[in-house]
């Protein structure tokens, strides 16, 4: 199969056109083309328009239509591939018993203080081999692909020591080689405080700066650095120190910000010019305004709020304040053991008051911007990667409307059909 592809007669061709994030009211502007088509050559989008326009262009350019694999998208909506810009993809074990504890009333921080939560997964990930983590990762990526994800971010942070953090990042690099989905690596050694450093958080930051961060940077295993800026984890000052050093080492800053309490993480993200600030359930009005002014992408994770029975981030207020909002799953073994983009979309609509158009922008061009990739993915623009999703339905509005049900029929990566729900029982091609 070559990576020249013609998709034609789409009921909606949802371009999300742009090379940077959509902010505020622009998030609802999707650039929809009726009876749309696009042509992909050598994995890159080369033409977008109505079916008549694209076919005319092929004839005028003396391109032989037989050189293209073809898909008739009649009655279907065609969109950019989804970007899941916040996950914790590589980990060992599970935390199924904690789901019951939370239902019984135990809080996230109570579980963490008991040695559960992140620290439980740290123990399981330290004991898992590279090969075991790779097999688990491939299975998870297959599931993500079925939901239309063509690019995914993956964080370390279940090692909290040099060897396991590097092991996680090396597994991500292998997954990126082995699987059609592009895997974007983030170093998150500051995900929790190891028990031996309890009360000595500054000393743990020292270890990260002296031993772990230099290794991740010198081996070129990570593109971003993230930190859990939260009460009882890492302070604003500690987070600033780590992210400043990470930037000097060539890693771009991200933050887990204002998830449990309003600590000022959104303001810190704006101060540092972070690529994104994520969670933001308790972001202040001042923090929201600062993110909008500085261009920080606000990445919201409604699946986590749902799983924790927590208040949802104020997505509507953020958009109205001029923020660029992205949506992601936060797939992880504890607070959101779900890779369902469909669930995220429904929760964003029902509980955060986002429109269907805003949700699509948040899962495509804005999520790409949250990974500093809006120049190459996230929209159906000529010159970008041929990453495309075809729905079973004629409109993007079905994505949140089919509550929790996956509407994706086909997934194209770099111009190649890599998933078809109607083929091989829905397995990856």
Question: 103-107, 164-168, 300-304 — which is least confidently predicted?
Answer: 103-107
**Confidence band for 424, pLDDT divided at 50, 70 and 90:** low
Measured distance CA(53)–CA(71) in Å, rounded: 16
Measured distance CA(349)–CA(341) in Å, rounded: 12
Q: What is the pLDDT of residues 116-162, one digit of tens each?
A: 788 899 999 999 999 999 999 999 999 999 999 999 999 999 999 99
* pLDDT value, residue 426: 55
Give yes or no for a contact between 211 and 166, defined as CB atoms under 8 angstroms apart. no
pLDDT at 429 > cutoff 70 = no
**Confidence band for 90, pLDDT divided at 50, 70 and 90:** very high
pLDDT at 427 > cutoff 60 = no
* pLDDT value, residue 358: 98
* pLDDT value, residue 41: 95
* pLDDT value, residue 45: 98
Which CATH code fits 82-369? Answer: 3.20.20.140
**Confidence band for 245, pLDDT divided at 50, 70 and 90:** very high
Q: What is the pLDDT of residues 331-342, one digit of tens each?
A: 999 999 999 999
Question: 98-102, 216-220, 351-355 — which is least confidently predicted?
Answer: 98-102
Average pLDDT over residues 244-273: 98
Average pLDDT over residues 246-258: 98
Is residue 40 helix, strand or coil?
strand
Nearest to 341 by CA among 331, 350, 329, 333: 329
Average pLDDT, the chain: 95
337-375: buried (b, 16+ CB within 10 Å) or exposed (e) per residue? bbbbbbbbbbbbbeebebbbbbbbbbbbbbbbbbbbbbe
* CATH 3.20.20.140 residue window(s) in the chain: 82-369
pTM of the model: 0.96
Q: Is 148 left (phi over 0), alpha (psi -120 to 50) or beta?
A: left
Measured distance CA(197)–CA(205) in Å, rounded: 10
* CATH 2.30.40.10 residue window(s) in the chain: 5-80+379-426
Which CATH code fits 5-80+379-426? Answer: 2.30.40.10
Q: What is the pLDDT of residues 389-415, one digit of tens each?
A: 999 999 999 999 999 999 999 999 999
């Amino acid at each position: 199969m070559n990576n020249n592809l013609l998709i034609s007669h789409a009921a909606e061709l949802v371009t999300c056109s742009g090379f940077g994030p959509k902010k505020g009211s622009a998030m609802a502007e999707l650039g929809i083309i009726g009876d749309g088509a696009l042509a992909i050559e050598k994995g890159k989008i080369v033409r977008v328009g109505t079916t008549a326009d694209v076919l005319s262009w092929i004839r005028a350019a003396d391109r032989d239509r037989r050189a293209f694999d073809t898909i008739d998208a009649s009655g279907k909506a065609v969109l950019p591939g989804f970007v899941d810009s916040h996950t914790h993809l590589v980990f060992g074990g599970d935390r199924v018993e904690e789901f019951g504890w939370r239902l019984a009333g135990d809080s996230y921080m109570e579980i963490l203080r008991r040695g559960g939560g992140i620290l439980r997964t740290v123990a399981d990930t330290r004991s898992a081999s590279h090969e075991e983590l790779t097999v688990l990762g491939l299975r998870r990526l297959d599931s993500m692909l079925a939901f239309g994800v063509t690019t995914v971010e993956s964080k370390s942070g279940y090692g909290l020591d040099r060897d396991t953090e590097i092991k996680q990042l090396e597994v991500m690099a292998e997954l990126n080689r082995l699987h059609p989905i592009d895997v974007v690596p983030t170093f998150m050694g500051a995900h929790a405080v190891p028990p031996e450093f309890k009360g000595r958080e500054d000393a743990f930051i020292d270890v990260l700066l002296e031993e772990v961060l230099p290794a991740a940077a010198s081996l070129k295993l990570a593109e971003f650095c993230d930190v859990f800026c939260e009460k009882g984890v890492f302070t604003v000052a500690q987070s600033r120190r780590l992210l400043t050093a990470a930037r000097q080492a060539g890693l771009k800053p991200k933050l887990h910000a204002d998830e449990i309490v309003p600590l000022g993480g959104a303001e810190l993200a704006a101060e540092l010019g972070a690529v994104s600030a994520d969670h933001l359930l308790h972001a202040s009005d001042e923090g929201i305004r600062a993110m909008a002014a500085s261009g920080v992408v606000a990445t919201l994770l409604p699946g986590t709020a749902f799983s924790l029975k927590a208040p949802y981030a104020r997505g509507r207020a953020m958009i109205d304040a001029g923020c660029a909002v992205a949506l992601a799953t936060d797939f992880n073994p504890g607070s959101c053991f779900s890779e369902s983009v469909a669930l995220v979309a429904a929760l964003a609509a029902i509980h955060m008051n986002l429109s269907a158009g805003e949700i699509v922008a948040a899962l495509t061009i804005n999520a790409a911007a949250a990974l500093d990739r809006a120049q190459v993915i996230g929209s159906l623009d000529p010159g970008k990667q041929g990453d495309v999703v075809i729905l079973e339905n004629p409109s993007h509005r079905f994505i949140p409307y089919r509550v929790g049900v996956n509407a994706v029929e086909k997934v194209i990566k770099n111009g190649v059909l890599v998933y078809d729900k109607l083929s091989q029982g829905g397995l990856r091609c």
